[in-house]
Structures are given as C-alpha cells and as structure tokens.
Homo-oligomer: A and B are copies of this chain.
Amino acid sequence: MPLAMDVKDIDRLDKIIQRGRPIQSGEHLYRAGDVFSSIYAVRSGSIKTYLVDDEGVEQITGFYLPGEVLGFDGIDNTDHGCNVVALETSTVCEIPFNRLEELTLQIPTLQRHFSQLMSRQIKSDHQMLLTLSKKNAEGRVATLLSSLSHRYSRRKLSPNALRLPMSRMDIGNFLGLTIETVSRTFSRLQKENIIDVDGREVVINNHDRLNEICHKNR
C-alpha cells in the first residue's frame, strides 16, 4: 500500500492477504454478479475492469497496474458490480473483505487507509469524467499516455518508454473513441514528433508538448 503504516500493522494485514495463482491474459478474475468477498491489489501484469449495461454495451472503467487496488465498487452489495480481466499474465493479492473489516477494528488507521483508497478512486473517476466530457481525441489519448507514464515512473520504470498492455480497441473503448480515431491520433502525435509509436511500444519524446495536448479541449 502506498500509504504510511506501522510495521506491526502491516504484518497483521499481510497475514490475511492471499496470493493467488497467476491469471492468464484474457482470463477473468471475477465477473459482474459474482459474490463479493474480496478486494484485490495487482502484484504483476495489468488488469482492466469493465461494466456491461442492459443493452450489452461494454465500458472499460479502468486499467490497473502493479500496486493499484481494485474492487471497491462491490462493497455496497453482495456481488461485484463489474468484470475484471487480465490484459496479460498477471498476479494479484486477494484481500478478504470481512477479515479486513475485523482488522480495521483493531487497527483504526487501517480504516482510514481504505477510505483514502476509495476516495482516490472517486477522484480518479472524476478526472476521467472531465477527460471524456471536455477533451477531444488528442487530449484523451495524450491524457492516457501521460497517466500511464506517471504510473510507470512511480514504479521506478522509465517514464519515456512504455509498452501498452492494452489493445487499440481497449483504448478506444476506454476513451470513448473508435479504434480508427485512436490509431489516427497516435499517428498524428508521431508525425509531430511528440511520441514514437510501434504497435504497443510507445516512446514519449516531448513530455511538455504531450502535457499541453492533454489540456487541449474540444
């Protein structure tokens, strides 16, 4: 967890954490409607979450990289609200929620940690609302690249060279664009020398220009 905790408390949390077998690319960790019992932290690989509405329309709600926690949307119910699938071979920590609740009674600070994680999820979702509501195709793609870059660099990886774990179709679904528009946007950013693209390999040549474009609106 990215937040400060007492060593003894971490030990106690560690005990209830279960480490599962690896999930293969395309395999579901769980599906909407499955019984809710745990939240999950990504250990390795990458994960996408998506929801499906009455009409079968799918919306990817987030991409999760190692260290990031998912599953908070299931707490209000007995079952999960969204589908979770691996984008590549991945491993996760399972954190059983009922045992977590018991533990929060013993470790008051732990409760706040989890409130904070949920609060961050809400903030991040609100940023995404702004992206979808106010930005054009370039702004949306640039915002995604910038976000991934930040998150990779927080994991001590290069902020300049990244391998996208998701397909163009996933990107388009997430950003509310067609794959053609995503592809064209990548090409345009490359032509302007802001990035180099080769399939899923992306090199960011000019972070400043990229950040400018993040704020480019409709």
Contact = CB atoms under 8 A, between A and B. Distances in A.
Interface in A8-61: 51, 53-55, 57, 59, 61
Contact of A126 (B82, B105, B119): B82
Main secondary structure of the interface of A (DSSP, over half): helix
Given A51-B130, A75-B118, 19 more contacts: A55-B217, A59-B126, A59-B129, A73-B119, A74-B119, A75-B115, A76-B116, A77-B119, A82-B126, A101-B112, A114-B115, A115-B118, A118-B122, A122-B122, A129-B129, A132-B132, A132-B133, A132-B176, A133-B174
Interface residues of A, number: 46
Interface in A103-129: 104-105, 108, 111-112, 114-123, 125-129
Contacts of A82: 126
A215 B129 contact: no
A73 B175 contact: no
Interface in A195-218: 215, 217
